[in-house]
Structure 1
């Protein structure tokens, strides 16, 4: 399954922020005692800088290496979907990176990709179809390679990434995890959304 996702790892500049309207700024300034000679443009610039510095101060020390899972057995594009499913179950993951012969990440295979390939909207629908027409689904899994079903390119994050880069990457896709890569795109690990949320206590935000 192909997508329009970019192959470039997220950068701190991609970090989503709360957008302040001129009305928000003017209302805030009215609540500050005394006179402030500052334009809404300058106020907004100060806010953006303060936002970035605050995040780095609070979360900067934690890098992706502390959170990512290593020892992951990635998939290759020629592996059939049934074997890929067994690998995902064995490793306890709902998605696995797909790499080429050099270990460079070229895609990601997830449960959602399985559903799309098997033309099912939900897991319940898939179960019903397995009951009704098991041979058809079995045939499709045995003869479909990962390369035909994966999402490519994959959203990834660079090793050494901090809070800003990690949260920016997660905001760019809805998956449960993403590959961690080096500067040449080689797989170094997998960062799971649930591990990121737990580490930064963001249960109510993401």
Structure 2
């Protein structure tokens, strides 16, 4: 079982500070102004004020209403902590995700299980390595702990966000872990859905390399 830090905060309104402004030197501003036909009767300080206001307006326009609740995938079936490795692996395949919440009988998040956790239990760093091990062996997993309970493999406590978490909180949460997704919880800590990193980046018009 892996231990990690957790946070669950809220911020429904877009926050311009969540998307840092570029630092403009006077030379940058003056060079830009020279490329504009005609005469501009503004100072570099005026230009910075315009840029600051335009940046805040753009962030509000692009990310207005962006919350974890709107971006999350619903209908995700969490794993009870006693779920054996084999059943957990099948659940990954059936649901088409690489991260699943581990939940108690009331639906509260206890931790998260990832494909990486499963591979680690099977003694491989990647699916290709696992495949090579199978090809070099007898084609079976043998005794690799297929009955190991999910609770023994999961990361806990889970990094989660609330349904109302906005841009800043989602970005902060994803920076705290390298996983592909994280549970979204309600006010009682019950799992509402799963927010995938790729869905968040798509909503922000970014790709995973940025």
Deviation per residue, 1:29-86 (Å, 9 max, x gap) = 887998779xxxxx9xx97x98677534430222222221111110011110000001
Aligned CA distance change for structure 1 residues 56 and 161 (closer, same or farther; 3 Å): farther
Q: Is the 8 A contact 2:8 2:162 kept in 1?
A: yes
Change (3 A) 1:195 1:35: closer
Cα deviations by residue, 1:149-172 (Å, 9 ceiling, x for unpaired): 111121111101222222222222
Alignment CA distance shift 1:155-1:143 (3 Å): same
Scaled by the length of structure 1, the TM-score of the pair is: 0.76
The structural deviation recorded for 1:16 is 7.2
Gaps of 5+ in 1: 38-42
Between the two proteins, the alignment pairs up a number of residues equal to 196
Q: What CA RMSD, in Å, does the superposition of the two structures yield over aligned residues?
A: 3.3
Looking at structure 1, the residues matched to 113 and 124 of structure 2 have their Cα atoms a distance apart, in angstroms, of 16
Whose Rg is larger? 2
CA contact (8 A) 1:63 1:162 kept: yes
- The structure in which a higher percent of residues are helix is 1
Q: 1:205 to 1:128 in 2, by over 3 A?
A: closer
What is the TM-score when the length of structure 2 is the normalising length?
0.75
1:3-42 equivalence runs, <5 A: 3-4=3-4, 6-9=5-8, 15=18, 17=20
Q: How has the CA–CA distance of structure 1 residues 3 and 53 changed in structure 2, closer, same or farther, with 3 Å as cutoff?
A: farther
| Compared CA separation, residues 173 and 53, structure 1 to 2 (3 A) | farther
* 30 and 91 in structure 1: CA distance in 2 versus 1, 3 angstrom threshold: same
Aligned to 2:174: 170
Which secondary structure state, in structure 1, belongs to the residue aligned with residue 144 of structure 2?
Answer: helix
Kept in 1: contact 2:111–2:158 (CA 8 A) = yes
